[in-house]
Amino acid sequence: MNKALLAALLVVLPLACSPVYQLKAPAAFARFTTGDTNRWITADGVRMRVREVDNDPKAKLPFWKEALGGHLKKRGYKPKGSQDFQTASQLPASTLTFLLPRGNGDWVMSVTLLVAGDRIIVVEVVGLWQRWKPHEAALHQAIVAFSPSE
């Protein structure tokens, strides 16, 4: 019984501690209100999640961009493109987009890194290519307007 309680706490505590981001997701995305609330999903299954990790060792965006891009390429993801930009709150950001044939379709994993001092905000979007594509521009706009400190 104690073990089950401990396990439940281990799952719930990090969620309770993680910040709730006020990201204005595109209209097609609905936000989860239970569990991790930094998750959004469209009716056709394109998923988005925002989380943060420690900027440790402390490095700038190009460092993390290279580390993540290189790692995913080594794993077998096909790079589709990358886009560097600044958010409305002047944070340097970069979106790396990868393709992965999975099942009968091509899947997209788009990872946006925002380096904010000691934190790295990671915005991950995953979905089937043809379902993700119509949302690509709106998602980019939402991330540009995103201010993690809100």
Partner 1 sequence: MNVHLRWNLPPVAVLSLLVPGLLVVLACPVEAGPPTTSPPLHKTAKSPKNQSKSQSQRQARHTALSASLVIKVADPAKVRRRILKLIKKSGGHPALMTDSQLNLKVPPKQLSATLAVLGKAGHVLDKKMSRADMTEQIARLRGRLRSKTALLARLRGFLDDSGVGATLKIERTMQQLVREIEGLKGRLRLAVSRSTMADVRIRFQYRNPTQLRYVRSPFGWINSVDVHRFLREF
Chain positions contacting partner 1, by CB under 8 A = 39, 41, 47, 49, 53-54, 67-68, 71-72, 74-78, 100-107, 109, 111, 120, 122, 124, 126, 129
Q: Which residues contact 111 (CB under 8 A, 6 or more apart)?
A: 68, 72, 95, 96, 97, 98, 122, 123, 124, 125
Strand 92-102 and strand 39-42: the pairing is unpaired
- In whole angstroms, give the CA distance from residue 78 to residue 116: 28
- Tell me the two tokens of residue 135: 């949302």
Nearer to partner 1, 6 or 67 (CB): 67
Nearer to partner 1, 27 or 53 (CB): 53
Nearer to partner 1, 13 or 145 (CB): 13
Q: Contact 52/122 with Cβ under 8 angstroms?
A: yes
- Tell me the two tokens of residue 95: 């979106």
Nearer to partner 1, 88 or 96 (CB): 96
Q: How far is the CB of 51 from partner 1 (least distance, A)?
A: 9
Q: How far is the CB of 43 from partner 1 (least distance, A)?
A: 15
Q: How far is the CB of 1 from partner 1 (least distance, A)?
A: 26
Closest CA to 133 of 38, 29, 72, 46: 46
